[in-house]
Structure 1
Amino acid sequence: MESSSSKGGFKVLIIGGSVTGLTLAHSLDKMGVDYRLLEKRKEIAPQEGASIGILPNGARILDQLGLYNAIEQSAIALGTSDVYFPDGFHFTSSYPKRMHDRRSFAYPIAFMERRKLLEILYDLLPDKSRVEVDKAVSRIEEHPEHHGVLRAYTHDGDVYEGNLVVGADGVHSRTRREMWRLSGSSPTGDVPVSERNSTSVEYACIFGISDGIAELTPGRQVMRFGNGWTLAVIPSRQGQVFWFIVQKLDREYQYGSAPRFAPEDAAEQCSKLARLPIHGDVRFDDLWQRRKAVNMAALEENVFQTWSCGRLVCIGDSIHKMTVNLGQGANCAIEDVAVLCNILHHALNEKANSELSDQDVEALLRRFHKEHFPRVSRVYDMSWSVTRVHARDGSMRKFVGRYVAPYFGERLQGRLFNLMADAAKIDFLPLPRASRSGWEEYRSSERNALLWASSLALLIVLIALFTGRSYW
């Protein structure tokens, strides 16, 4: 316990040792705020067969926290992406290279094993004693005697206390369920059933890691788009190949009713793509036969409206969940940490000689939602659209993917650059790398809005010509 040396004795209880939770731990440490992190699993970095993309918006924050150099040594930076369509047409996109260009963001689109990222985030924590594993939270309550304190009870009978509880425990968040329960006795009222049931599942993903294949060039991504599915292959330099298949399901499911997948389900789906060409003479079956880890999971999609109740707040996948195609799930969660900590840092400095009251905490959490919700919604909407263009879901999206993106890609990429440039950063920590012009050049502005409007108008004209319909 370090509350005596922390800011005003304020303590944060983090539920979940994910990328989100560990990043929050690092940020709180930089602030000098006491914390305790509880992870329900027995280890911080289990092997789940998944890779993770670190994009410039997440990389910049991780760099501010002193973590990016270690990440950079273990990740592979993408240079190009070879994109293939069912009719045999293909093109090469330099979008990843442009992102890393000296005139852009200074950070590449980088991929690494998710387990390795978790190891780095944990290993570089200054005080690992604040992290406890095998601590599944069963319920959260207000302290019966001490005002302004919440208690988290774990399945093994332990009790932990904090002035702020942050749920970073993923899409199946126990913290979120406790927040909903506690909101029933809150003056602001209960969370409506419509919101509780608003998460949907329309896609599933097979994540895989295979041993390397000499014919595949590290950093040269391969994307193959099919009718209802997308395959991405990312060769790494560590003798590994990361890959994933995003598959549209037979229908849209509500959260809780989506199918659960066994290893046999992944094998059955992958067998259908066995002869699919990857590059040269390499077929997908070559990756499958060299697999080291494979996992199949549903891809939930939603942005919840309610993020907090009293002194309890959720971040990351527990409040916004998106598909993997845009690669923004973890990066958006890292931004959550930056925005929340910026607001908390300001509030603690304003109350340097006194405690944060219930009203103070509720106000800062309302501000967190007000400032960050539009950003999260924008990222989610783009992720939703990209996934369906990749999967060729509907004639209009087939047209955009096949006949617009290959030829007007630079105009459309500008929207993705805007998305990156508008990202949050940690306001109370310096930027380690020299600021690249892209962060300012591509920030949303009236000029960029006009450019996007003209691109959209061009797209509508092209679709109208192709389909014979009017969209005006």
Structure 2
Amino acid sequence: MSELDSEHICRVVIVGGGTAGLTVANDLEHAGVNFVLLERREVFDPQVGASLGLLPNASRILDQVGCYEKFLEITKPIRKQTVHRADGTLFAEYKCLFGISASIDGMEVGENYKTFAKDVSTLSYIGMIGRVFWFVFVKMDKVYYTPNIPRFTTADADALVEEVGSLAIREKRRVTVRDLYRERISGNLVALEEAEYDHWSWGRLVCLGDAIHKMTPNLGAGGSSAIESAAVLSNIISGLVNGVGKPTVEAIRLALGSYQKLRAIRMTKVLKVANVLTRLQALKGWKEYAMTHFIAPRADGVFTRNVFEFLDRSPSGRLSTQTS
């Protein structure tokens, strides 16, 4: 919590100490804005996910608040990527079993593996001390809508591993889904909710991150997008709070509404790419099969480059206000 002094006449309440909430807190502290951060769990940013991918747009923001060097100390860049079909040959509506496993013999730090099969795909990264951060994406029997989106138990996860456990994560010195699940330190099975809401704020309340743009994790852009959104929102809040006089409720409403206008178009594109990628990698239909088996391998990486160049171009992901 930042300290309250006589010059501050507003306090920002941040609800949730995950990636988005912690980024907003750091950004506001950097801008000299008073805040309180609330988290219902016993620790901030608990290890309930499989991993957090840092793209250049997020890394620049973390660098501005002095966090980037610390992240470098506990992470490793991807230096090798291997993509194969379920039969082992190389080439470059869903639930997700994800987790973290202890080191697996032959899987080296900095490697990234992907497997594409009909209605199933996998994604895994090997991080510090050989920890394996992994995802298994499986198409469900139908598209579910709120309030009927299923919730899964450990028994459901065990049953899914029985179903897809023989799928190869890596062909050379073969490692399977079952191997990762057996060596798991943590793991969970969830339905991959997808949503982009029309209203991001109401009065003095505003949402960001998964609360208003929830994407599938195949692209690895969810965390970086939340960090980018946090910077945009923090710029707006710091300009509002550090202005002349106490802002009115109407001024707050208009300012928070401008945050959605700045972010909505870009986030619509990011969500579309992420959610399409999930279906491509799980070979949803003949179009996805043709793209992954015939078009993409002959395109010399042009699709990947275009996607990541777009993600790197962040027109609003820079902190504008800093304390001296």
The TM-score normalised by the length of structure 2 is 0.92
Equivalent position to 2:174, from 262, 282, 286: 282
Offset from partner CA, 1:422-444 (integer Å, 9 cap, x none): 223223268xxxxxxxxxxxxxx
Q: Which moved more, 1:357-366 or 1:285-294?
A: 285-294
Do the aligned residues in 1 keep the contact of 2:64 with 2:319 (CA within 8 Å)? no
Q: Which residue of 2 aligns with 1:129?
A: none
Equivalent position to 1:332, from 225, 228, 243: 225
Asked if 1:14 corresponds to 2:10, the answer is no
Q: Which residue of 2 aligns with 1:82?
A: 82
Deviation at 1:65, TM superposition (A): 1.0
- 2:143 aligned counterpart, secondary structure: strand
1:48 and 1:203 map into 2 onto residues whose CA distance is 19
Q: Which residue of 2 aligns with 1:315?
A: 208
1:303 and 1:412 map into 2 onto residues whose CA distance is 24
1:34 and 1:12 map into 2 onto residues whose CA distance is 6
Equivalent position to 1:384, from 275, 286, 297: 275
- 2:234 aligned counterpart, secondary structure: helix
Identity score, percent: 34
User: What pairs with 1:296-315 in structure 2 (closer than 5 Å)?
Assistant: 296-315=189-208
Q: Which residue of 1 aligns with 2:299?
A: 408
2:207 and 2:67 map into 1 onto residues whose CA distance is 23
Do the aligned residues in 2 keep the contact of 1:19 with 1:330 (CA within 8 Å)? yes
Equivalent position to 1:260, from 148, 151, 168: 151
Query: What is the letter of the counterpart of residue 69 of structure 1?
Result: E
1:417 and 1:45 map into 2 onto residues whose CA distance is 26
Query: What is the letter of the counterpart of residue 357 of structure 1?
Result: T
| Change in CA separation of 1:417 and 1:5 when aligned onto 2, cut-off 3 Å | farther
Q: Which moved more, 1:355-364 or 1:410-419?
A: 410-419
Q: Which residue of 2 aligns with 1:399?
A: 290
2:104 and 2:200 map into 1 onto residues whose CA distance is 44
Offset from partner CA, 1:148-190 (integer Å, 9 cap, x none): xxxxxxxxxxxxxxxxxxxxxxxxxxxxxxxxxxxxxxxxxxx
- 1:223 aligned counterpart, secondary structure: strand
Q: Which moved more, 1:283-292 or 1:361-370?
A: 283-292
Deviation at 1:217, TM superposition (A): 1.9
| Change in CA separation of 1:314 and 1:49 when aligned onto 2, cut-off 3 Å | closer
Asked if 1:240 corresponds to 2:241, the answer is no
| Alpha-carbon RMSD | 1.9
Q: Which residue of 2 aligns with 1:3?
A: 4
1:205 and 1:231 map into 2 onto residues whose CA distance is 9
| Change in CA separation of 1:60 and 1:299 when aligned onto 2, cut-off 3 Å | same
Do the aligned residues in 1 keep the contact of 2:19 with 2:45 (CA within 8 Å)? no
Query: What is the letter of the counterpart of residue 4 of structure 1?
Result: D
Do the aligned residues in 2 keep the contact of 1:216 with 1:279 (CA within 8 Å)? no
Equivalent position to 1:426, from 286, 308, 318: 318
User: What pairs with 1:89-104 in structure 2 (closer than 5 Å)?
Assistant: 89-91=89-91
1:377 and 1:5 map into 2 onto residues whose CA distance is 41
Deviation at 1:87, TM superposition (A): 4.7
Please tell me whether Structure 1 or Structure 2 has the larger radius of gyration of its CA atoms. Answer: 1
Do the aligned residues in 2 keep the contact of 1:215 with 1:279 (CA within 8 Å)? no
Unpaired runs of 5+ in structure 1?
93-201, 431-472
Q: Which moved more, 1:403-412 or 1:329-338?
A: 403-412
1:78 and 1:283 map into 2 onto residues whose CA distance is 19
| Change in CA separation of 1:24 and 1:266 when aligned onto 2, cut-off 3 Å | same
Q: Which residue of 2 aligns with 1:270?
A: 161
1:409 and 1:358 map into 2 onto residues whose CA distance is 53
| Change in CA separation of 1:17 and 1:252 when aligned onto 2, cut-off 3 Å | same
1:389 and 1:417 map into 2 onto residues whose CA distance is 17
Do the aligned residues in 2 keep the contact of 1:338 with 1:426 (CA within 8 Å)? yes
- 1:37 aligned counterpart, secondary structure: strand
With a CA cutoff of 8 Å and minimum separation of 6, indicate the structure with the bigger relative contact order.
2
| Change in CA separation of 1:266 and 1:376 when aligned onto 2, cut-off 3 Å | same
Query: What is the letter of the counterpart of residue 2 of structure 1?
Result: E
2:241 and 2:304 map into 1 onto residues whose CA distance is 40
Q: Which residue of 1 aligns with 2:107?
A: 216
2:144 and 2:252 map into 1 onto residues whose CA distance is 36
Between Structure 1 and Structure 2, the one with more strand by share is 1
Q: How many residues align?
A: 318
2:85 and 2:131 map into 1 onto residues whose CA distance is 25
Unpaired runs of 5+ in structure 2?
none
